[in-house]
Structure 1
Amino acid sequence: MDVPSLKHTHPQKHYFKTLCRFMYYLGMGDLWYEKTEVSFYMKIVYSIWMMVANGFIIIFLFNELLSFARPDLTAREKNDLAVFSFAHPLLYAKVVTLYFFKGRIKFVMERLLEGSRPIFHSLELEKKSVTQFAINCFAVTAASYAVLGSAIIEGIRQHYIQDIPVRTEVVYFPNPSQSGPFVTVVRILVEFHWYCIVAMMSTMDCLALCSLITVGHKFKVLRLYFQQLRIRTLENKERKTKKELAEDFKKDFVIGIQLHSDALWCARNVQESMGFLYSIQVFESVALLVMNLVKLVVAERNVIYLMATFVFILCVVILTGAYMMVAGEITYQASEVGTAMFHSGWEECNPGPDLRVLVVVAVQASQVPVYMTAFGVIILSHTNFISVLRSSYSFFAVMY
């Protein structure tokens, strides 16, 4: 008899595990909360790989920052350098903070996936949440690599027009006048560097987005629990005495309160352990949108270059929008829990004072808004997503 796979029995866990494994292969460390037996030799090999992968990123980031010292920068290179020298260090700042919070992220991930699931879960809702995982991760990854693709197309165009090497990043070494086999290898590594850092960024964003979606899923499951509690109460109304009905309802309602407490804990701790990811993203989005709007104004007018800039802007909007929309869904789902509690069937049990007090206190607690924030100040919501876009354009309009 075949044993059901993790993909079918616990789809969320399967997706998170796959994502963590991919991050492990990228040299970002082991973020999975379950321990795996690894030989001493493999630990040494992986430690070397982590140093190589991260050293490669850091060396070429410094190479990019040093290009400010180049006296032969063209106007276009100066514009591109201003954007890249701001964006790329911030991208790697996410990696650094990820290492710093790695232990806490493991702990929160375990509670997120395993905490209240044995008490109550819905496989149907879980599969829908995994579909949301896939849609959001695909959108973020596709948008990020579309920027790379458009930059390469523009680099190829410049190569044929100006007879210069294909360039997507601006670096100190090599400059366009240098040539030779070693220089060619370095140029290939420069292009590969951007792909690597975007891969790291995409997986981190996917991890944060999937965590936010899972928090929203917990509130959906909680609402379903109270809806089913009402159905059970109505079904047992004719079969049990009022006292038995009230006792059973109280036990089930207390379990619902525990589920609510677990969902609130997950929301609070996902905010504390992964809030840096969307905080950096919101800050980066406003700045990059302004920079690229300026580029559209001052740059030369040709279709490919304008298209590459528009793709970059679209990527930034998608990244910010993904966080804002998913986090806004948490606020909405949490706000509906109080209604589900109130309509859970308590009035059918001829409730005594203790049960009425319990329901009132639980409903009051559920009415406290649940917000995910950037820097603890900017609430991530559908409305504030539009506000961020407006603020970016307003800042550009005032400064320019």
Structure 2
Amino acid sequence: MDYNIILYSYCKNIYLVGSGNFWSNENEVGDDNSISYRLYSLSLFSIYIVMTILEIIAVLYGNFPEDESSDALTFAVSHTIVLIKMFSVISNKKLVRSMNESMIKVCKKHEQNELVLEMYRTVKINVIGYFVTVYGASVFYVFEGLRKMYSGSHFVTIVTYYPSFEDNSMVATLFRVFTTAVLFMMMMTMIVSVDSFTMAYLIMLKYKFKTLRHYFERLRLDFDKINKSGDQRLAAEKLTDGLVEGIVMHQKLLKLGKNIDQAFGTVIAMQLILSSGSAVSLLLQIALSDQLTFIASMKIIFFVAALFFLLGLFLCNAGEITYQASLLSEAIFHCGWHACPPLPPPHRNHQHLVRHACAQALQPPIMKAFKMIELTYSTFLTVLRSTYSVFALFYAQKK
């Protein structure tokens, strides 16, 4: 298992869900410029857009009961943001293709199998957890629709302007079933091509910084081994060459971090809005409704869990990138530079290299949403506290 296999698998699945070919070699994944694929992708996203528009119209002009009106508002807002996230990633397809190559190549010679396997397990566990929460919420929406149908109403999951609440015809029922199928497909496209892809990139960059830190730590071990043999000149040369290589890798990782921010920054920013905004209205539904069934409560709980689980993955992994990058300065400083004299020209001065590398590492990358809000652990906790505070305020007023 390596970065190449993981990214290739992602790009293959992204291609299958209609978002295009993000792999550098089109022949390995598929041709997203073919007429058949363009029709497939256009049809899929056109359905997503039309369904979202019908949800928005339902909120503005529809005449539905309170519970369906709340669902219409929730889906109209969330699906609008989902579409924005999808198109933001698709619009950066060329950049992501180059990022795939960079992510695979940087630090490749110095990767440790156990660290790569740990990274893969982390990605896998987080994707499975997010998948379960998203589809758990979707399944409970279906169960609630079935409960309504057996209690004398009609089956409904996605509330759209058509059909109206009073329309129980066969055509209306088929349309409601169709929108449910669209919901499940839209969630798959969202998970594969946007949310988990962004999360995987953040985790991969975090482990690349770990790999670089271990590289500088091994540099010290190699230096001590050669230096103890009595060949100080060779030890100094190896140390100097190693420092140069490490600085180059560090610069590539910093550039990769900026590219990730450019390609996926909108996704993270939109998720910040969605998680904090939608959670308040969903929690109020649970707190203020007197006739909320167990299934209806569970669909809301799973929805809120999915929102904050993904936000936590984004913010905590982005914060972990900053933390891992901040550890580099100490690893560089203890590389062994003080134990040997500088080499004469034309060799580079390893003491100058250490100073330069440490100065660069003392300013670790900090990812930001809207170029203002730092994506860190503390930001995640702040969002949680702020969401609860707003919820408590509205709850107190409505009580």
Same fold (TM over 0.5): yes
C-alpha spacing 1:41/1:268, structure 2 compared with 1 (3 Å): closer
Q: Which residue of 2 aligns with 1:68?
A: 59
One-letter amino acid of the structure 2 residue matched with residue 164 of structure 1: S
| Deviation for aligned residue 1:199 | 1.0
Distance of 1:143 and 1:167 partners within structure 2: 20
Q: Which residue of 1 aligns with 2:71?
A: 80
One-letter amino acid of the structure 1 residue matched with residue 122 of structure 2: Q
One-letter amino acid of the structure 2 residue matched with residue 283 of structure 1: I
Any conservation in 1 of the 2:106–2:249 contact (CA below 8 Å)?
A: no
Identity over the aligned pairs, expressed in percent? 25
- What SS does the corresponding residue of 2:228 show, helix, strand or coil? coil
Any conservation in 2 of the 1:105–1:274 contact (CA below 8 Å)?
A: no
One-letter amino acid of the structure 2 residue matched with residue 178 of structure 1: D
Q: Which residue of 2 aligns with 1:370?
A: 365
Q: Which residue of 2 aligns with 1:201?
A: 190
For structure 2, which runs of at least 5 residues remain unmatched after alignment?
none
Any conservation in 1 of the 2:130–2:309 contact (CA below 8 Å)?
A: yes
One-letter amino acid of the structure 2 residue matched with residue 382 of structure 1: Y
**In the alignment, does 2:370 pair up with 1:381?**
no
Q: Which residue of 1 aligns with 2:128?
A: 138
Any conservation in 1 of the 2:137–2:298 contact (CA below 8 Å)?
A: no
**Counterparts of 1:181-260 in structure 2 under 5 Å?**
181-203=170-192, 204-260=194-250
**Counterparts of 1:287-306 in structure 2 under 5 Å?**
287-299=277-289, 300-306=291-297
Superposed CA offset, 1:105-140 (max 9, x none)? 1111211112342x4322221111111110111111
C-alpha spacing 1:180/1:304, structure 2 compared with 1 (3 Å): closer
**Counterparts of 1:34-183 in structure 2 under 5 Å?**
34-36=25-27, 43-68=34-59, 72-117=63-108, 119-161=109-151, 163-183=152-172
Any conservation in 1 of the 2:157–2:180 contact (CA below 8 Å)?
A: yes
- What SS does the corresponding residue of 1:166 show, helix, strand or coil? coil
| Deviation for aligned residue 1:386 | 0.9
C-alpha spacing 1:173/1:218, structure 2 compared with 1 (3 Å): same
| Deviation for aligned residue 1:148 | 0.3
One-letter amino acid of the structure 1 residue matched with residue 10 of structure 2: L
Distance of 2:62 and 2:81 partners within structure 1: 25
One-letter amino acid of the structure 2 residue matched with residue 49 of structure 1: Y
Distance of 2:310 and 2:31 partners within structure 1: 39
- What SS does the corresponding residue of 2:110 show, helix, strand or coil? coil
Superposed CA offset, 1:273-310 (max 9, x none)? 11111111011111011111221233234322222222
Superposed CA offset, 1:302-322 (max 9, x none)? 322222222211111111111
One-letter amino acid of the structure 1 residue matched with residue 191 of structure 2: S
Any conservation in 2 of the 1:116–1:262 contact (CA below 8 Å)?
A: no
TM-score, normalisation: structure 2: 0.92
Q: Which residue of 2 aligns with 1:4?
A: none
Distance of 1:272 and 1:42 partners within structure 2: 24
**In the alignment, does 2:18 pair up with 1:27?**
yes
Distance of 2:219 and 2:32 partners within structure 1: 53
Distance of 2:134 and 2:115 partners within structure 1: 29
- What SS does the corresponding residue of 1:36 show, helix, strand or coil? helix
**In the alignment, does 2:314 pair up with 1:323?**
yes
| Deviation for aligned residue 1:367 | 0.7
When the two chains are superposed, the root-mean-square deviation of aligned CA atoms in Å is 2.1
Distance of 2:177 and 2:43 partners within structure 1: 17
| Deviation for aligned residue 1:240 | 4.2
| Deviation for aligned residue 1:232 | 0.7
Superposed CA offset, 1:138-197 (max 9, x none)? 111111111101111222222222x12211111111234334443333222110111122
Superposed CA offset, 1:188-229 (max 9, x none)? 211011112211211111111111111111111111111111
Any conservation in 2 of the 1:289–1:313 contact (CA below 8 Å)?
A: yes
C-alpha spacing 1:25/1:220, structure 2 compared with 1 (3 Å): same
One-letter amino acid of the structure 2 residue matched with residue 288 of structure 1: S
- What SS does the corresponding residue of 1:88 show, helix, strand or coil? helix
TM-score, normalisation: structure 1: 0.92
Distance of 1:324 and 1:71 partners within structure 2: 37
Distance of 2:106 and 2:246 partners within structure 1: 14
> Which is further off, 193-202 or 346-355?
346-355
Q: Which residue of 1 aligns with 2:303?
A: 312
Match of 2:251 among 261, 269, 274: 261
C-alpha spacing 1:281/1:40, structure 2 compared with 1 (3 Å): closer
C-alpha spacing 1:282/1:40, structure 2 compared with 1 (3 Å): closer
Distance of 2:75 and 2:112 partners within structure 1: 44
- What SS does the corresponding residue of 2:156 show, helix, strand or coil? coil
For structure 1, which runs of at least 5 residues remain unmatched after alignment?
1-7
Distance of 1:325 and 1:210 partners within structure 2: 13
